Amino acid sequence: MTIDLIDAAAARLAGKARLTPLLSSPFLDDLAGRRVLVKAECLQHTGSFKFRGGWSALSALSPEARARGVIAFSSGNHAQGVALAARMLGAPAVIVMPSDAPGPKIANTRALGAEVVTYDRATGDRDAIGAELAEARGLTLVRPFDDAQVIAGQGTCGLEIAAQAAEAGIDTAEVLVPCGGGGLTSGVALALEARAPGLRVRPVEPEGFDDATRSLVAGRIETNTRRAGSLCDAIQTPSPGDLTFPVMSRLCGPGIVVSEDEALRAMAAAFERLKIVLEPGGAVALAAALYHPRDVAGEAVIAIASGGNVSAETFRMALDRYGEAP
């Protein structure tokens, strides 16, 4: 993993991915006790940063491999990113999704033209299912985070943050990143190391799925005992990846763990103050910035709002509980 790989991904994404804004609100600044800037990846194609990695991986394949097709496994955001990239490139796509993934994510993935294969998240092995289908059909597996080209694509978000922070006059800050397997976290960390070394990445996870935080403390990959059951479905992964963890271990500060209620509260704050829609997993970094001020250093903090693919029921719950509240 090098900055050259990320730069190459950025060149292929030019004109394909959206340049997402860095948003701010004086109300959020007051709440956090420091300047808060929010990288609104929820406004990216398919509603999350995952389109970056999907396009990066598929556009790097040979024409022959794309013609045979790709397979991915995902709770929804990687699924949609790969499905859209495949449709744009004319490649068949098969997506292995947990049966308890939010309905809109499954429906959107199918609507983008992908074949969806579901499995039980608590008892099934998505890696085994994906490997079996890939071998049987000659498909290229595009992993959700432990894939060099996927990491490179996610790293383009970091390139944008570096440029936007410089424009905002920020050269020192902590960058809070919602973390599942670590593809976005490690990609952003690599980009910032090269382009904005004063910005330090901090992974943020939900309670009960804090494998990256524990792994950074232990100095080795730790695994979650639970595989399902969090509102933050987008980032409930078993463990960090073999590619992502060494990068996080070298470049990231300590992890921060937030509660589901804090994620819901951050969703309401983002809607009311920034006019953006976040899903629980996509809101954990903002939750850390707003409700864990003692865990964050410096006069400014950048939080990535990584996704906005939320069901109406969950979004309504966030607003009913925390709407019009500080």
Is 306 among the residues known to form the active site?
A: yes
Helix, strand, coil abundance in the chain, percent, nearest 5? 50, 15, 35
As a whole number of angstroms, the distance between CA 206 and CA 232 comes to 7
| DSSP per-residue letters across 101-115 | S-HHHHHHHHHTT-E
Q: Which of 75, 186, 239, 306 is catalytic?
A: 306
Residue 305 CB partners (closer than 8 Å, separation 6+): 38, 39, 40, 41, 42, 270, 276, 278, 282, 283, 285, 286
Q: How far apart are CA 172 and CA 165, in angstroms?
A: 9
Residues in CB range of 128: below 8 A, 6 or more apart: none
CA 286/CA 158 separation, integer angstroms = 17
Q: Is residue 47 within 8 Å of 307, Cβ to Cβ?
A: yes
Q: Would strands 35-40 and 22-23 be described as parallel, antiparallel, or unpaired?
A: antiparallel
What is d(CA 129, CA 118) in angstroms, rounded to the nearest whole number?
10
Active site residue 50: yes
Residue 92 corresponds to which tokens in the numbers above? 């068949």
Distance CA 262, CA 149 (A): 33
Selecting among 39, 48, 50, 230, the annotated active-site residue is: 50
Catalytic residue numbers read 50, 306
